[in-house]
């Protein structure tokens, strides 16, 4: 089965915006080391591209969470499937996500991670769908605010497909 994907944000625009975010983060964290946390799997493409554009020292870690719900929306019950390898004690942490939708994944995750003693905790997302928010999440860096459409690409999947598209697309079914 093949869906049609319509381009929502072209590759050049995504890359240009990530460049700006990298510059902004480099400025905000001058003199510090940034510890980026990727929320797998969706966050992986964005984190790698972002990390290349940050000029202060960067370290990276990965975690994987799964939320149990009805399949199309998350339930708010989040389970850690793969935890971080390293401690967050004293680190300037930025959690990197591909999208914040209901906000359930991130509000839960941030609560857990804040208890691990980071010096600071920031949140950076490539896409934000504010219309869908059910949990308040304070986002420090947003690539693009988007309308409530089913988007894929740059890490975002539809049934695990299309994560590798170098642009943001909308699935037309
Ligand atoms: C997606 C997306 C975010 C989360 C956002 O991940 O990558 O992590 O949902 O939704 P929320 O704000 O409503 O919690 P998903 O659970 O699909 O896993 P994946 O990253 O492996 O695709
Ligand atoms: Mn995800
Ligand atoms: Mg997904």
In the chain (173 residues long), the average pLDDT of successive 10-residue segments reads 92 98 98 98 97 98 80 69 97 98 93 97 97 94 96 96 97 89
List the domains of the chain with CATH numbers.
12-149 (3.40.50.2020)
Ligand 1 near 105 CB (within 6 A): yes
104 CA closest ligand 1 atom index: 14
Buried b (16+ CB within 10 A) or exposed e, 31-41: eeebbbbbbee
Give 81: exposed, middle or buried? Use CB within 10 Å, 0-12, 13-18, 19+: exposed
Beta pairing partners, 5 = 171
Q: Is residue 45 a contact partner of residue 162, using CB atoms and an 8 Å limit?
A: no
End-to-end CA distance of the chain: 10
Q: Indicate whether residue 137 lines ligand 1 (CB < 6 A).
A: no
Q: Determine the pLDDT at residue 79.
A: 87
- pLDDT score at 151: 97
Ligand 1 near 97 CB (within 6 A): yes
d(CA 74, CA 67): 6
Active site annotation includes 101: yes
Q: Which atom of ligand 1 is nearest to the CA of 163?
A: 22
Q: Is the CB of 126 inside a 6 Å radius of any atom of ligand 1?
A: no
Nearest CA-CA partner of 49 in 79, 19, 20: 19
Model pLDDT, residue 62: 98
Q: Which are the contacts of 15, defined by CB distance < 8 A and separation ≥ 6?
A: 49
Under DSSP, is residue 160 helix (H, G, I), strand (E, B) or coil? coil
Coil, strand or helix at 106: helix
pLDDT at 67: 73
pTM reported for the whole predicted model: 0.94
ipTM greater than cut 0.90: yes
Q: Considering every ligand atom shown, identify the ligand nearest to the alpha carbon of residue 126 and give its number.
A: 1
Report the run of H or E that residue 127 belongs to, with start and end: strand 120-128
35: Cβ below 6 Å to ligand 1? no
User: Which of 42, 66, 79 has the most ligand 1 atoms within 8 A of CB, as the residue to mutate?
Assistant: 42
Catalytic residue among 13, 70, 92, 101: 101
């Amino acid at each position: 089965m093949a869906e049609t994907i319509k381009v929502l944000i072209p590759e050049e625009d995504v890359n240009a915006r990530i460049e700006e975010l990298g510059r902004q983060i480099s400025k905000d964290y001058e003199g510090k080391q940034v510890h980026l946390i990727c929320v797998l799997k969706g966050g992986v493409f964005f984190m790698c591209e972002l990390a290349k554009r940050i000029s202060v020292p960067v370290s990276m870690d990965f975690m994987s969470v799964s939320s149990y719900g009805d399949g199309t929306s998350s339930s708010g019950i989040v389970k850690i499937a793969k935890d971080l390898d390293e401690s967050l004690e004293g680190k300037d942490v930025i959690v990197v996500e591909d999208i914040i939708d209901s906000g359930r994944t991130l509000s839960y995750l941030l609560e857990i991670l804040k208890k691990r003693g980071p010096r600071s905790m920031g949140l950076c997302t490539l896409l934000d769908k504010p219309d869908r928010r059910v949990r308040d999440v304070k986002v420090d860096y947003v690539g693009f605010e988007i309308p409530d459409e089913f988007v894929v690409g740059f890490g975002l999947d539809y049934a695990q497909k299309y994560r590798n598209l170098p642009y943001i697309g909308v699935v037309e079914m």
